[in-house]
Structure 1
Amino acid sequence: MLDANLKKQLDTYLQNIVSPIEIGVSLNHNPDNTAKSTELKELANEISQLSSQITLKEAVAQRTPSMSIASAGQAPRISFAGIPLGHEFTSLVLALLQTGGHPSKASAELQQQIRDLEGEYHFETYISLSCQNCPDVVQALNLMATLNPNITHVMIDGALFQEEVDRRQIMAVPAVYLNGEHFGQGRMSLEEIVTKLDTGAAKRQAASLNEQAPYDVLVVGGGPAGAAAAIYAARKGIRTGLLAERFGGQVMDTVGIENFISVPYTEGPKLAASLEQHVKEYGVDIISAQRAAGIQQSMDDTAQHNLLEVPLASGATLKSRAVILATGARWRELNVPGETEYRNKGVAYCPHCDGPFFKGKRVAVVGGGNSGIEAAIDLAGLVEHVTVLEFADTLRADEVLQRKARSTPNIDIISNAQTTEVVGDGQKVSGMHYIDRISGEQRHLDVAGIFVQIGLVPNTEFLQGSAVELTRHGEVIIDAKGATSLPGVFAAGDATTVPYKQIVIAMGAGATAALSAFDHLIRS
């Protein structure tokens, strides 16, 4: 089941288990479904043979095949309905380690907050094994179940439990249910989940943030540009903070990265984890699950010099002598009727995450750039047929991608197509309307899914009305040193006028902004 190299790595990890645990395996004895049960049993056997601390036993579960993990002698609070491989293998390993007493890297304060949660919380998370966003949610909820005996969590492979997926009309993952009711959709951090449950947490955190002393440099954004800026600032020995809703930014939604110099291949979540670890090594104060709501100048009466204030959506305000804006960008939406109504009901933005839910169906990809054509090629291996709709008269993707798409038999490409409406039956997408820009004729396309891949929008709405000058597209205008129109404020990455939106360019821009901010501080 596991190759020799993976088994060797797993053996090393499992040496960190300090207390006995039990793996309960519930198998499906239906002749039509024995293959997956056989795989799961083989996986469980191989794991149990790697550690004397692990005991394997048969179990009875609501869903089969499934695997539960529990401290010896206790009722299981963590379960995997399906086979936790692919992106979820790490979730399995962490569940084994944390149940076996190996400490989590989450802050002590956050862990105590989880232990203090009152009430019964029974979570279910529907995932696909190809989803790179799902493991963060699964791992967060598994940790919560480990820490609090009133919390349980089961990961459910949607591809294996299609009847449940259809009944609950799940068309995007991760989809989280709490006590049988829909709780959340998409990537959620541990902090976000806990804050949603602990209604008083936001108020307490805001009060704590208001008491923070001013920073020398405050970085707003936790993507590649923000991480690079924080590292370069902290290396100068100045007090540095980093404010981010989620660390990693859009990189967390990127699967394969093959153009990061010196690294032939990596994946977005892996790179983001490395960035966060690097930032933490320099003692940067990371403020997560918070969103900036503006920026303005103020006067520090004690230090007698100008400060910059960054008010937060939570009501708190952070102060700093210099600020670096690195808020990145997000996927652009179609902004047509029906898009919002059918989001996560057929309208999707992540082909890797949600593609498996359209197996054997007809789908559309809107956008003919690199991301759109890559999405079409990936989806072609899963779905019955892919239609690419491009607004312009030619595709914008690299020629190598265009050749691959045109040679794939179940991909059609329509140019000069302007999407005008998403249509459905009230529950899910059934098709879309578009206009042929040459003839002016309105046409209809019968599809079960629409994957939107039409570029990026800078995350700069919070700067509207501030002294930071923006382009008509919302990008922060910067000079060669990353300086903005507001003294002491610098910017870097995809939120700015930098001409190319690439990870390696964002990192360089982040370093430039930090060095410029430091130069500003020593001169002022």
Structure 2
Amino acid sequence: MAMMDEETKQEVKKILDSLENEVKIVFFKENINCPSCLPAEEFLKEISSLSQKLKLEIYNKYIDEEKTAQYSPAQLPAIFIETPFSQKRVVFYGIPAGYEFVSFLEAVKTSSSGKPELEQDTFEKLKTMSSKVNIKVFVTPTCPYCPAAVVLAQRMAVASENITAEMIESNEFPGLAAKYQVEGVPKIVINDKVHLVGAQPESSFVAAVIDSSKSG
């Protein structure tokens, strides 16, 4: 079943045709206890069919053990947007549907170009990082403010090899949402310690990331 109408497909195709470099999409699933894995797979197959610059790889977390060890997907479904610029640092847990489709396309574009749109001061601050930082951004498909937080986290992940950015669809992972006390979205969690609610100005987001890097 097609998830995009013909007009949307043509618009997406134009975006994908403009990609500077090939993008590998690595998808992890399982066949029993993952109700959103099948629609996520169908979504990725549909969008990958629109451009030869998208290369989709599909793995079962519990069968393809070598690939699972290589990528270490924490949740299922898991989508890694991989290029030499982003490596394995841009991740979607859950279907990037609704407003998060914007985040998905932006992740593909930025990972392809390796040229994240960030302020120059942000690049300089990210260069000072010496330890790893994990950014989780909890979202819902109907949240119009969530893509801004997700895209900013992803751009920082492309800019710095010390940052991993994960989009987590709260409705698909209620246990995780409860663990991190997600009562509103976007909810940003940095290194499982720093909690920010709402879309953040770039300067504030970067400052929180740098502080988390220093504190470990």
Q: TM bucket by the smaller chain? A: 0.7 to 0.9
Structure 1 or 2: larger strand share? 1
Q: Does 1:169 align with 2:162?
A: no
Q: RMSD of the TM alignment (CA)?
A: 2.1
The residue type equivalent to 2:94 in the other structure is G
CA deviation after TM superposition for structure 1 residue 154, in Å: 0.7
**Per-residue Cα deviation, 1:415-455 (whole angstroms, up to 9, x for no partner):** xxxxxxxxxxxxxxxxxxxxxxxxxxxxxxxxxxxxxxxxx
- Cα distance in 1 for residues equivalent to 2:52 and 2:128: 33
* Whole-Å separation in 2 of the counterparts to 1:49 and 1:95: 18
Following the alignment from structure 1 to structure 2, what is the Cα–Cα distance between the partners of residues 67 and 150?
Answer: 19
Corresponding residue for residue 24 of structure 1: 26
Letter in 2 for 1:88: E
Instruction: From the superposition, tell whether residues 11 and 77 of structure 1 become closer, same or farther in structure 2 (CA, over 3 Å).
Output: same
Alignment check: 8 A CA contact 2:86 2:114 kept: no
User: After superposition, where does 1:213-362 map in structure 2 within 5 Å?
Assistant: none
Q: Does 1:93 align with 2:105?
A: yes
Structure 2 counterpart of 1:46 = 46
Residues 148/73 of structure 1: CA separation in 2 closer, same or farther (3 Å cut)? closer
Aligned to 1:114: 126
Of structures 1 and 2, the one scoring higher in RCO (CA 8 A, sep 6+) is 2
SS of equivalent residue, structure 1 residue 67: strand
Q: Do the aligned partners of 2:117 and 2:155 also contact (CA within 8 Å) in 1?
A: no
Deviation, structure 1 residue 163: 1.4
Do 1:68 and 1:78's aligned partners in 2 also have CA atoms closer than 8 Å? yes
1:210 aligns with none
Structure 1 position 80, deviation (Å): 0.8
C-alpha separation between the residues in 2 aligned to 1:144 and 1:74?
10
- Residue 386 of structure 1 corresponds to none
Judge conservation of contact 1:18–1:102 (CA < 8 Å) in 2.
Answer: no
Shift of 1:138: 0.6
Q: CA deviation at 1:95?
A: 0.3
Residue 185 of structure 1 and its aligned partner are, at CA, apart by: 1.4
**What is the distance in 2 between the residues matched to 1:166 and 1:103?**
35
TM-score by length of 2: 0.82
Cross-structure match for 2:6: 4
Query: How many angstroms does 1:118 deviate by?
Result: 3.0
Q: For the residues of structure 1 that align with 2:183 and 2:123, how far apart are their CA atoms?
A: 32
Shift of 1:83: 0.7
| Farther off after superposition, 107-116 or 61-70 | 107-116
1:21, distance to aligned residue in structure 2 (A): 1.7
In structure 2, distance between residues paired with 1:99 and 1:190: 19
How far apart in 2 are the matches of 1:191 and 1:38?
Answer: 38
Cα offsets for 1:75-116 (capped at 9, x unmatched): 410111111111111111110000001644433443343344
Match of 2:140 among 124, 128, 139: 128
The answer on 1:70 being equivalent to 2:72 is no
SS at match of 1:142: helix
The CA distance in 2 between the partners of 1:9 and 1:175, in whole Å, is 30
Residue of structure 2 equivalent to 1:33: 34
In terms of fraction of residues, the more helix-rich structure is: 2
Quote how far apart the aligned CAs of 1:157 are. Answer: 0.5
Normalising by the residue count of structure 1, what TM-score does the alignment of the two structures yield?
0.36
CA deviation vs aligned residue, 1:264-301 (integer Å, no higher than 9, x gap): xxxxxxxxxxxxxxxxxxxxxxxxxxxxxxxxxxxxxx
2: distance between equivalents of 1:147 and 1:102? Answer: 8
Q: Residues 165 and 107 from structure 1, CA distance in 2 versus in 1: closer, same or farther, beyond 3 angstroms?
A: closer
Q: Which amino acid aligns with 1:119?
A: S
2:17 aligned partner: 15
1:124 CA drift (Å): 0.9
Structure number with bigger Rg: 1
Distance 2:9 2:95 in 1: 16
SS at match of 1:100: helix
Range moving further from structure 2, 93-102 or 181-190: 181-190
* Secondary structure class of the residue paired with 2:99: helix
Count, aligned residues: 197
* Percentage of identical aligned residues: 21
Structure 2: which 5+ runs fail to align?
60-67, 212-216
- 1:303-331 Cα shifts (integer Å, max 9, x gaps): xxxxxxxxxxxxxxxxxxxxxxxxxxxxx
